[in-house]
Structure 1
Amino acid sequence: MEIGRLGEFGLIDRLVKLLEIKDPSVVVGFGDDCSAVSVDGKLLLFTGDIQLEGRHFIKKLTPPEDLGWKLVSVNVSDVVACGGKPEWGFISVGFPPELGLDYVEGIYRGINKASRHYRMSVIGGNTTSSDSIILDLFLTGTTRRFIPRSGATDGQIVVLSGYTGLARAGLELLMMEKKEYQGFEKRLIDAFLKPVARLDLSEKLSRYASSAIDISDGLAGDTGHLAESSGVKIVFDKEKLPVNEDLLTYCRKAGKNVYDYMLYGGEDYQILFSVDRDNLRYFPECFPVGSIEKGTGLFLKDGGREVPIRPEGFTHI
Structure 2
Amino acid sequence: MRISQIGEFGLIERLKNILSSQLIGDDTAPIQIDSKTFLLTTDSMIEDRHFKRFYPPQAIGWKVISINVSDVVSSGGTPLYALVSLALPDLEVSYVDALYSGIKTACEFYGCQVVGGNLAKSEKISIDVFMMGKAERFVSRAGARPGDKLYVSGTLGDAKAGLELLLFEKKHYEEFELKLIERHTRPTARIDYIKHISKYANACIDLSDGLSSDAWHISNMSRVRLSIKKDKIPISQELYLFCKKHGKDPTQYALSGGEDYQLLFTHPKDRYNPFLDMTIIGDVEEGTGVYLNGELMHPEGFDHFKL
Residues in 2 aligned to 1:213 and 1:298: alpha-carbon distance in whole angstroms: 15
Change (3 A) 1:68 1:160: same
Please state how far the C-alpha of 1:199 moved relative to its aligned partner: 0.7
Indicate conservation of the 8 Å contact 1:171/1:189, yes or no.
yes
Paired residue total: 305
User: 1:310 is matched with which residue?
Assistant: 298
User: 2:8 is matched with which residue?
Assistant: 8
Residues in 2 aligned to 1:194 and 1:54: alpha-carbon distance in whole angstroms: 17
Residues in 1 aligned to 2:285 and 2:173: alpha-carbon distance in whole angstroms: 44
Change (3 A) 1:271 1:117: same
Structure 2 counterpart of 1:81, from 69, 74, 77: 74
Residues in 2 aligned to 1:37 and 1:269: alpha-carbon distance in whole angstroms: 23
* Aligned residue type for 1:160: V
Q: Secondary structure at the match of 1:150?
A: coil
Q: Secondary structure at the match of 2:272?
A: helix
Deviations 1:10-63 (A, max 9, x none): 212222333266xx7xxxx42100001110100000000000001111112x10
- TM-score, normalised via structure 2 length: 0.96
Q: Secondary structure at the match of 1:281?
A: coil
Indicate conservation of the 8 Å contact 2:16/2:24, yes or no.
no
Residues in 2 aligned to 1:130 and 1:232: alpha-carbon distance in whole angstroms: 44
- TM-score, normalised via structure 1 length: 0.93
Residues in 1 aligned to 2:76 and 2:274: alpha-carbon distance in whole angstroms: 15
User: 2:262 is matched with which residue?
Assistant: 270
Structure 2 unmatched runs, 5+: none
Q: Secondary structure at the match of 1:274?
A: strand
Residues in 2 aligned to 1:288 and 1:9: alpha-carbon distance in whole angstroms: 27
User: 2:161 is matched with which residue?
Assistant: 169
User: 2:89 is matched with which residue?
Assistant: 96
- Higher mean alpha-carbon deviation, 233-242 vs 120-129, is at 233-242
Structure 1 counterpart of 2:136, from 123, 141, 144: 144
Residues in 2 aligned to 1:208 and 1:10: alpha-carbon distance in whole angstroms: 31
Structure 1 counterpart of 2:30, from 22, 33, 36: 36
Percent of aligned pairs with the same amino acid: 42
Structure 1 counterpart of 2:48, from 51, 54, 69: 54
* Aligned residue type for 1:117: F
Residues in 2 aligned to 1:89 and 1:191: alpha-carbon distance in whole angstroms: 23
Residues in 1 aligned to 2:275 and 2:144: alpha-carbon distance in whole angstroms: 17
User: 1:19 is matched with which residue?
Assistant: 19
Deviations 1:177-203 (A, max 9, x none): 111111000000001010000011011
Residues in 1 aligned to 2:219 and 2:259: alpha-carbon distance in whole angstroms: 20
Q: Does 1:220 align with 2:212?
A: yes
Residues in 2 aligned to 1:282 and 1:154: alpha-carbon distance in whole angstroms: 23
Indicate conservation of the 8 Å contact 1:83/1:143, yes or no.
yes
Please state how far the C-alpha of 1:316 moved relative to its aligned partner: 1.7
Please state how far the C-alpha of 1:296 moved relative to its aligned partner: 1.3
Q: Secondary structure at the match of 1:75?
A: helix
Residues in 1 aligned to 2:219 and 2:65: alpha-carbon distance in whole angstroms: 27
Structure 2 counterparts to residues 252-267 of structure 1, below 5 A: 252-267=244-259
Indicate conservation of the 8 Å contact 1:30/1:36, yes or no.
no
Deviations 1:187-238 (A, max 9, x none): 0000101000001101110100000001110011001111111111111122
Please state how far the C-alpha of 1:76 moved relative to its aligned partner: 0.4
Structure 2 counterparts to residues 115-264 of structure 1, below 5 A: 115-264=107-256
Residues in 2 aligned to 1:308 and 1:20: alpha-carbon distance in whole angstroms: 31
Q: Secondary structure at the match of 2:235?
A: coil
Q: Does 1:285 align with 2:277?
A: yes
Residues in 2 aligned to 1:259 and 1:51: alpha-carbon distance in whole angstroms: 27
Indicate conservation of the 8 Å contact 1:215/1:270, yes or no.
yes
Residues in 1 aligned to 2:303 and 2:275: alpha-carbon distance in whole angstroms: 30
